Amino acid sequence: MRAEAAFFQEVWQAFWAAVFPRKCLICGKLEGMAVEARSSEVGAWPEQMAVWFCGTCCRSIAPVVPSFCVRCGRPYASRQGPGHTCLECLTRQWYFEKARAFGLYQGSLLEAIHRFKYGGKLSLARPLSSLMRRTFETFWEKESVDMVVPVPLHRRRLRKRGFNQAYLLGSGVTGKNGIVLDGRALYRRRKTEPQTGLSREQRQKNIRRAFAVRWPERVQDRKILLVDDVFTTGATADACAQVLMEAGAARVDVLTLARTV
């Protein structure tokens, strides 16, 4: 019976592949979908990604692997030894407890984020949010978070883009685990200029006080996981964490899909 089921499944898959040949969602190529597994702390992720991404694109994705800063998740050049706190985290105070990311913001992960965010390729929402879920499961106990809050866009930008990429990514973390997704708890009260090309000081100045909590009672005593697409200097995440903590959140952690080094 099982062999029969497997046979029909194979026939069905062959039929499906012939009618709808799979295209890599990042580079658009038809052939050579990824088969090869690559081990990382996030598990053998390309096996799942093979449905969506080709082998070449999977190989150019670099997951964040140990060791990295226990606080901000900054990866170290050395792959050996336990994680420790990086120099920046030793000398400054963050409002969030810890930040983790799935991979480095380069190669085809960068390409995927650009296509998703600026190109409006919403078919990437599923694979990318599933990477968010796997990263969440790797670095957090599910009891340590009860609410997911995406970094908000300004309403004018949201209207222009039509979706908030952070919200779609964050939806991967919630579900049957009882964690709620609240896309309205936090809002952006003034439009900030794009952060690209700004120095660290300029970014911090640019972002400070750009966010506000809409309903403090909704975040009070909550263990919040703030989600976004990319962690660059941490200025955006920390500005959000600050207003959430000031509104009474119990703690704020940060999960992003990618991270710059």
Least CB distance to Zn ion at residue 89 (A) = 3
47 three-state secondary structure: helix
Measured torsion, CA atoms of residues 248, 130, 56, 99, in degrees rounded to the nearest 10: 20
Distance CA 188, CA 149 (A): 13
Residue whose C-alpha is closest to residue 183's, from 227, 139, 146? 227
Minimum distance from residue 230 beta carbon to Zn ion (Å): 16
Residues 153-182, interacting with Zn ion (CB under 5 A)? none
Nearer to Zn ion, 27 or 125 (CB): 27
Q: Does 37 bind Zn ion (CB under 5 A)?
A: no
Burial class from Cβ neighbours inside 10 Å (0-12, 13-18, 19+) for residue 87 reads exposed
Q: Say if CB 236 and CB 152 are below 8 A apart.
A: no
Residues 56-75 that bind Zn ion (CB under 5 A): 57, 69, 71-72, 74
* Min separation Cβ 113 and Zn ion, Å: 14
Pick 102 or 231: Cβ nearer Zn ion: 231
- Number of C-beta neighbours around residue 86 at 10 A: 17
Smallest distance from Zn ion to CB 171, Å: 24
**92 token code pair:** 């400054």
CB of 203 to Zn ion, least distance (A): 17
Determine which residue in the list 24, 50, 226, 249 makes contact with Zn ion, applying CB under 5 A.
24
Sheet holding 251-259, edge to edge: 99-104, 251-259, 223-231, 147-150, 180-181
CA angle 165, 166, 171 (to 5 degrees): 100
Q: Is 230 in the site for Zn ion (CB under 5 A)?
A: no
Query: Quick check: 115 binds Zn ion (CB under 5 A)?
Result: no
Measured from the CB atom, the residue of 58 and 257 that comes closer to Zn ion is 58
Nearer to Zn ion, 72 or 240 (CB): 72
Site track 78-97 with Zn ion (rule: CB under 5 A), x = hit = --------x--x--------
Largest CA distance in the chain: 65
241 lies in the site for Zn ion, by CB under 5 A: no
Q: Which stretch binds Zn ion (CB under 5 A): 46-54, 145-153, 192-200, 215-223?
A: 46-54
222 binds Zn ion (CB under 5 A): no
Sites of contact with Zn ion (CB under 5 A): 24, 26-27, 54, 57, 69, 71-72, 74, 86, 89
